[in-house]
Amino acid sequence: MADRKATLQIDGQSIELPVLSPAAGKDVVDVRTLGKHGYFTFDPGFLATGSCESAITYIDGENGVLLHRGYPIGELATKADYLEVCYMLLHGEAPTEEQYQEFKSTITKHTMVHQGIHNFFNGFRRDAHPMAMLCAVTGALSSFYHDDLDIHDENQRLRSAYRLIAKIPTIAAMAYKFSIGQPFVYPRNDLGYAENFLNMMFSVPAEDYEISPAVARAMDRIFTLHADHEQNASTSTVRLAGSSGANPYACIAAGVASLWGPAHGGANEACLRMLAEIGSVENIPKYIEKAKDKNDPFRLMGFGHRVYKNTDPRATVMRESCHEVLKELNRDDPLLDVAMELERIALEDDYFIEKKLFPNVDFYSGIVLKAIGIPTNMFTVIFALSRTVGWVSHWHEMMGEANQKIGRPRQLYTGYTQREFSPIKK
Ligand code: CMC
Judge if pTM exceeds 0.85. yes
Q: How far apart are CA 61 and CA 56, in angstroms?
A: 16
Average pLDDT value for residue range 42-66: 95
Query: Which pLDDT tens digit goes with each residue over 163-198?
Result: 999 999 999 999 999 999 999 999 999 999 999 999
CATH code of the domain made up of 82-402: 1.10.580.10
Which of 197-201, 366-370, 409-413 is predicted with the least confidence, judged by mean pLDDT?
A: 366-370
**Residue 380 region by backbone torsions, left for phi larger than 0, else alpha for psi between -120 and 50, else beta:** alpha
Catalytic site includes residue 220: no
- Predicted local distance difference test score (pLDDT) of residue 333: 74
In the predicted structure, residue 375 carries a pLDDT above the cut 60: yes
Maximum distance among all Cα pairs of the chain, rounded to whole angstroms: 79
Binned at pLDDT 50, 70 and 90, residue 219 comes out as very high
Average pLDDT value for residue range 114-125: 94
Catalytic residue, chosen from 305, 312, 394, 396, is: 305
Average pLDDT value for residue range 312-323: 88
Binned at pLDDT 50, 70 and 90, residue 263 comes out as confident
DSSP secondary structure string for all residues of 274-304: HHHHH-SGGGHHHHHHHHH-TT-----TTB-
Q: Where are the domains of the chain?
A: 82-402
For 358, other C-beta atoms within 10 Å of its C-beta total 22
In the predicted structure, residue 384 carries a pLDDT above the cut 70: yes
Question: Residues of the chain with pLDDT > 90: what percent?
Answer: 80
Strand-pairing partners, residue 29, are 19
How remote is the CA of residue 42 from the centroid of ligand 1, in Å? 22
Q: What is the mean pLDDT of the chain?
A: 93
Q: Which of 43, 273, 357 to mutate to test the pocket of ligand 1 (most atoms within 8 A of CB)?
A: 357
What is the CA 309 to chain-centroid distance, rounded?
19
Query: Which pLDDT tens digit goes with each residue over 398-425?
Result: 999 998 999 999 999 999 999 999 999 8
How remote is the CA of residue 136 from the centroid of ligand 1, in Å? 29
- Predicted local distance difference test score (pLDDT) of residue 33: 94
C-alpha dihedral (206, 211, 216, 219), degrees to nearest 10: -30
Binned at pLDDT 50, 70 and 90, residue 2 comes out as low
Which of 111-125, 225-239, 302-316 is predicted with the least confidence, judged by mean pLDDT?
A: 302-316
Which of 160-169, 236-245, 310-319, 402-411 is predicted with the least confidence, judged by mean pLDDT?
A: 310-319
- Predicted local distance difference test score (pLDDT) of residue 320: 86
Amino acid symbol at 335: L
Provide residues with CB under 6 Å of ligand 1: 229, 232, 263-265, 267, 291, 299-306, 355, 357, 360-362
Amino acid symbol at 226: H
In the predicted structure, residue 1 carries a pLDDT above the cut 70: no
